[in-house]
Structure 1
Amino acid sequence: MPKSMTGFAKVEMEYADGKVYGEARALNNRYLEINIKLPRIDYTGEQKAREIVRRYVKRGKADITIKWDRTSTAYGTARINEDVVRQYIGLVETLKQDYGLTGGLTVENILGFKDVIAYEESNGFAEDVLLAAVESLLARLDEDRTREGELIRADLSKRLEEIARSLGEIEERQPLTAKIHEERLREKMVEVTKSSSIDEVRVLQELALYVERLDITEEIVRLKGHLDNFRSTLDTTGPMGRKLDFIIQEMVRETNTIGSKSNDLPINERVIKIKVEIEKIREQVQNVE
């Protein structure tokens, strides 16, 4: 089952220390790119969160944001940055010694200086709470991408049927084109020789050359095989976007060969229809993980 690379999800989880809010956006991307914003947490916790994302997202760009609204007891504490205070005191002593200045610092002066008061933020939530929020968020994102993938699958299946229908009409038309060519060949030979009797051997030779040069049986068979491969791939699980893209390239190659070999207008009209459907399929596959 194909899964879309695009999706959106939100979660809200309530705990004794406050509420956790999560938001996830998934976008198309050739490779896997993860941008994750968490409340202040150590490196190990962030890596664990990334591993959760990788379990759900195999390809595309994933933007994950986790925030919280904390209760009053969950806020951090203020403290004096002693290193900064020492630096300011040292600067004052230097001014006195180098320039003969007098005076001294007061508590009010020191508290007014930049970075004297440091604010230590408290996480308020344990690591397992944050990771649980990430897990819940990615599960919902996965559901959204799966729903979108079902719509993509339905559209792709419909277009594959359109291609198969046009290809069947080409296959049905092919023997008639040989007969038409034979009749035209006979008419031209009659016109050239000005006689109702023509060389049957020559006609058969020319017809054999035509069939050999313009026969599209192999291309039809291979294109049918690519359609079957495409359908069976849609029934598998896991990432399939790149494989589908490769199959499309082969479908384009066979279709172009059929068009270049055929000099029959009805066949060429159906080749154009097939190309249009393949292009629409290519656009959809760009959304598939």
Structure 2
Amino acid sequence: MKSDTTVRSMTGRGAGAAADAWARVEAELSSVNRKSLDVAVQLPRFLAAHEGLLHQHIQRALTRGRVTGEVRVTWTRRARATAIQLDESLARAGVEALRATARILKLPDDLTASSLLELPDVLRVEQPAADIARLEPLLRKALDAALRDLQTMRRREGVALARDLRRRMTGLGAIVTRIQARAPRVTEAYRGALLERLARVLPGKTQPDDERILKEIALFADRSDITEELVRLRSHLAQARELLRNGGVIGRSLDFLAQEMMREINTLSAKANDGGITRETIAFKAELERAREQIQNIE
């Protein structure tokens, strides 16, 4: 199942059952998002030895998520008949003790078979080991069916998550395009503002091609250059789209890319020195946070 190329959510629910002439085994599983795989499924006490089998089945099918649930066993009438165990030695000892007490107290010896039911632990309802051994193939089948059902739901939700994330990646790409288009204007706007300030302070004494002015503009352009950040943002967005296209277990990779994009956009915002770009970076971060909330649910 891990080789499936479908994007899967970590949220889902599944149920499965298997039965034979002796018993019916039912398995119910639910999963929610978790960074690693965490299994907490309740088994009947007499199936405690099969806990390893249960974990192996789930680990083969799932990579991430907290999986909870329950396995229930219902015995058939045929199996229940073999579950009533008589402790013969305890019954004999109990009868002898009752008769001895009756003789001492001069009571009538009127013991019957029903008297045995009043003796503690003479009759026990305990499924024989041979019957419990029959449950392993049923447990496997019930778990497989529940996992298939669970995976179907996780895939269905994963398809919806992937569709939403592709739309968000397109929106983030559009913001990057707008920032890239505006970036060249920032230096030109700074040049115009600088010349205007100097003209007010030093009227008639400054020229646009003054070496000191050109140096100041060059320093500003270098400090506010966001080319590298834009290139990396486009690269991260392309990688995210490729992951969504290829599918599989991509949650951690998408989360890493989202963290890197947040780092790049913060750096870009600090360097931009432009109100328009600042507004675009705020919009980018808000949309990226919404995307990350969705990514947290992907296996």
Q: Give the conservation status (yes or no) of the 8 Å contact 1:13–1:21.
A: yes
- Matched with 1:55 is 60
Q: Give the conservation status (yes or no) of the 8 Å contact 1:80–1:118.
A: yes
Is 1:41 aligned to 2:51, yes or no? no
Q: How does 1:163-178 map to 2 (within 5 A)?
A: 163-178=172-187
Q: Out of 237-246 and 106-115, give the one that drifted further.
A: 106-115
Is 1:247 aligned to 2:295, yes or no? no
Aligned length: 281
SS of the residue 1:239 aligns to: coil
Name which of 77, 80, 90 aligns with 1:72: 77
Q: Give the conservation status (yes or no) of the 8 Å contact 1:12–1:20.
A: yes
SS of the residue 1:182 aligns to: helix
Q: Structure 2: give runs of 5+ residues left out of the alignment.
A: 1-5
Is 1:118 aligned to 2:133, yes or no? no
Instruction: List per-residue Cα deviations over 1:4-45 (Å, max 9, x = no partner).
Output: 1110122345544564433221112222111233454362x4
Is 1:208 aligned to 2:218, yes or no? yes
SS of the residue 1:242 aligns to: helix
Q: Give the conservation status (yes or no) of the 8 Å contact 1:70–1:124.
A: no
- Matched with 2:295 is 285
Q: Structure 2: how far apart are the matches of 1:87 and 1:215?
A: 96
Q: Give the conservation status (yes or no) of the 8 Å contact 1:8–1:141.
A: yes
- Matched with 2:27 is 22
Q: Structure 2: how far apart are the matches of 1:35 and 1:25?
A: 10
Q: Give the conservation status (yes or no) of the 8 Å contact 2:37–2:65.
A: yes
Instruction: List per-residue Cα deviations over 1:69-113 (Å, max 9, x = no partner).
Output: 4432132421234676699799x79xx9xxxxx559967666324
- Matched with 1:230 is 240
Q: Structure 1: how far apart are the matches of 2:93 and 2:67?
A: 44
- Matched with 1:99 is none
Q: Out of 115-124 and 128-137, give the one that drifted further.
A: 115-124
Query: What is the letter of the counterpart of residue 222 of structure 1?
Result: R
- Matched with 1:31 is 36
Q: Out of 164-173 and 51-60, give the one that drifted further.
A: 51-60
Query: What is the letter of the counterpart of residue 202 of structure 1?
Result: R
Name which of 137, 157, 165 aligns with 1:128: 137
Q: Give the conservation status (yes or no) of the 8 Å contact 1:25–1:62.
A: yes
Q: Structure 1: how far apart are the matches of 2:252 and 2:89?
A: 56
SS of the residue 1:8 aligns to: strand
Query: What is the letter of the counterpart of residue 247 of structure 1?
Result: L
Q: Give the conservation status (yes or no) of the 8 Å contact 1:74–1:124.
A: no
Name the % identity.
31
Query: What is the letter of the counterpart of residue 274 of structure 2?
Result: D
Query: What is the letter of the counterpart of residue 239 of structure 1?
Result: V
SS of the residue 1:41 aligns to: helix
Q: Give the conservation status (yes or no) of the 8 Å contact 2:12–2:32.
A: yes
Q: 1:27/1:85 Cα in 2 relative to 1: closer, same or farther (>3 Å)?
A: farther
SS of the residue 1:235 aligns to: helix
Q: 1:141/1:72 Cα in 2 relative to 1: closer, same or farther (>3 Å)?
A: same
Q: 1:239/1:216 Cα in 2 relative to 1: closer, same or farther (>3 Å)?
A: same
TM-score scaled by length of structure 2: 0.82
How far 1:168 moved relative to its partner? 0.4
TM-score scaled by length of structure 1: 0.85
How far 1:175 moved relative to its partner? 0.5
Q: Give the conservation status (yes or no) of the 8 Å contact 1:79–1:120.
A: yes
Q: Structure 1: how far apart are the matches of 2:83 and 2:206?
A: 109
Q: 1:157/1:16 Cα in 2 relative to 1: closer, same or farther (>3 Å)?
A: same
